[in-house]
Structure 1
């Protein structure tokens, strides 16, 4: 088990990868630097190896797939994850490591949005998207996370070994944030500077496609983690629709003693039944979600005990 592992997912970052590796070694001399290449077609691997990084590969395309591979293979007490595009200054890494090793943090967020992100980033839709995602998650999950989609984070061993990665692409940051919030893991915040990519370095993020994937991830995780709220909302909407269409039928009955719109009445009945079903589905799935929470706590305890045994065995 390494004490500190720096994890750098990479795809065609030859312009910046050597500098990122060297900066990581300077900021964290005791750390092992891992560069996980994701089918790069340029000199990323060659330059990273020359800079002193351990090179590993993930052949399934997508950042989520890379992080799944990294989390499975690397054993460390503290993990620093940083993008290979040199947008995050590594001098903030020691503070993030300290919060994991000495203050029990499970995840430390490198907060760009509270510093230079909005002035440095030249893509206005990214600015709007980050603000929208942050507001949505903080509202839906009753939390106060400062930066949801940052690629600069620190993790504990327990977080890394119990995080179920389902995403394949850039929505992975959103998924890990919601996972930490829902399972009441300790999340700390470190404000970091952000700088735009250097000239010649091209972002792999597709503003619209990846943006919709992120929103879809929020929708899916809210349904999975907060099923009672999710299905109760649907039940309320269906009930309101049913009542609104039923009112004219009822008024006509009181006025004439006749029901002339039987199809509308029948549809209203079925819609109200769907609302009732949705409400009780939320109740049942909420019980299942609570069981998953208990199972997670048990798994998390086992992983932390394993880490403690390894530390005692190797004296770290």
Structure 2
């Protein structure tokens, strides 16, 4: 029987954590349930422990830091990660995990947006943010993932032990999705039900502050994972600016034989040089990225080899 670990990052979830732990114990009695308490100011840790979870403190604040510790510490064949706010039914999370257990995906996503999310979630800017992030990532990485930022996921051991967690906070879900796309992991999607937080339970997300962090993460990962495309776009913009400034000067020169706007010409040449430098940076970093991908594949082979021993 494959070993299953349920990972629950938590911060001030005393109203819901008992229900989360008990539901998973009923649905997946053979699973180990880990609650990583991220400096909660309430009784989250105590309630989780009394409910039967393995409680571990994580003193570095932020969901990304919690996930980093979970992935390093816990050994399992299948990992189920859910939030501690009781918004994801345990039955649906197990259906997501089955896709991984059956070998059909390295990372399986619980797709909220195709079911009840927009009906249950009463925060319109959250809904808009989910749509915007989904559109950006699918456009940039030429994919068709329906729910980029879901908190309900399942992973196999290879994904968990080879995923370099860089984010500190809630942008970790976006990082996971982009990493899986870039490294060509097999991604599965399962529509799941979503229910809003119960009365009295408050979201830790700041719509605008965390939204900007997610957009910044997308931009940084776009630069890191697709440097030729990223710097190529910058180069094209600079080239167009240079051409737009140089064209009137060139036309005037053909008509009069004079160059009356030397400052404009100097700026146009400067933009042209910057465009060439940007494109050269993209070419160099693209070569570095391909080399990095080769080493990553070797590391994956080593992980698989150690697992099968």
User: 2:165 matched to 1:168?
Assistant: no
Q: Which runs of 5+ in 1 are unaligned?
A: 310-316
1:139 correspondence with 2:139: yes
In structure 2, stretches of 5+ residues that fail to align are: none
Comparing 190-199 with 293-302, which one deviates more in the overlay? 293-302
Q: Could you tell me how far apart the structure 2 residues matched to 1:216 and 1:109 are?
A: 22
Question: 1:266 — aligned with what?
Answer: 266
Does the CA contact (< 8 Å) of 1:108 and 1:187 recur in 2? yes
Alpha-carbon RMSD? 1.1
Give how far 1:248 is off. Answer: 1.2
Structure-2 separation of matches of 1:86 and 1:94: 14
Number of the residue aligned with 1:222:
222
Q: Tell whether 2:246 aligns with 1:246.
A: yes
Query: Aligned-pair distance for 1:124?
Result: 0.1
**Aligned match of 2:279:** 279
- Report deviation, 1:103: 2.2
1:162-201 matches, cutoff 5 A: 162-201=162-201
- Range 41-50 or range 98-107, more displaced: 98-107
- The alignment partner of 1:13 has SS state of coil
Could you tell me how far apart the structure 1 residues matched to 2:113 and 2:183 are?
Answer: 24
**Is 2:39 the partner of 1:39?**
yes
What SS does structure 1 have at the residue aligned with 2:146?
Answer: coil
CA distance in 1, matches of 2:294, 2:211: 32
Preserved contact between residue 9 and residue 63 of structure 2 (Cα < 8 Å): yes
The match for 2:109 is: 109
What does residue range 1-316 of structure 1 map to in structure 2 within 5 Å? 3-309=3-309
User: Offset at 1:72?
Assistant: 0.5
Shift of 1:108: 0.3
CA drift at 1:251: 1.5
**Structure 1: distance between partners of 2:8 and 2:308:** 26
C-alpha distance in structure 2 between counterparts of 1:2 and 1:184, whole Å: 24
The count of corresponding residues between Structure 1 and Structure 2 is 309
Q: Give the corresponding residue for 1:313.
A: none
Q: How far 1:94 moved relative to its partner?
A: 2.6
Shift of 1:105: 1.3
Deviation at 1:2, TM superposition (A): 7.2
Deviation at 1:152, TM superposition (A): 0.3
Task: Give the SS at the match of 1:36.
Answer: strand
Task: Give me the TM-score of the superposition, normalised by structure 1.
Answer: 0.96
Instruction: Give, in angstroms, the shift of residue 50 of structure 1.
Output: 0.6
Mapped partners of 2:93, 2:207: distance in 1 = 28
Give the conservation status (yes or no) of the 8 Å contact 2:104–2:188: no
In structure 1, how many angstroms separate the alpha carbons of the residues matched to 2:175 and 2:200?
A: 30
1:76 is paired with a residue of what secondary structure?
coil
Moved over 3 A (4+): none
- Partner SS for 1:18: helix
Give, in whole Å, the separation in 2 of the partners of 1:305 and 1:27: 32
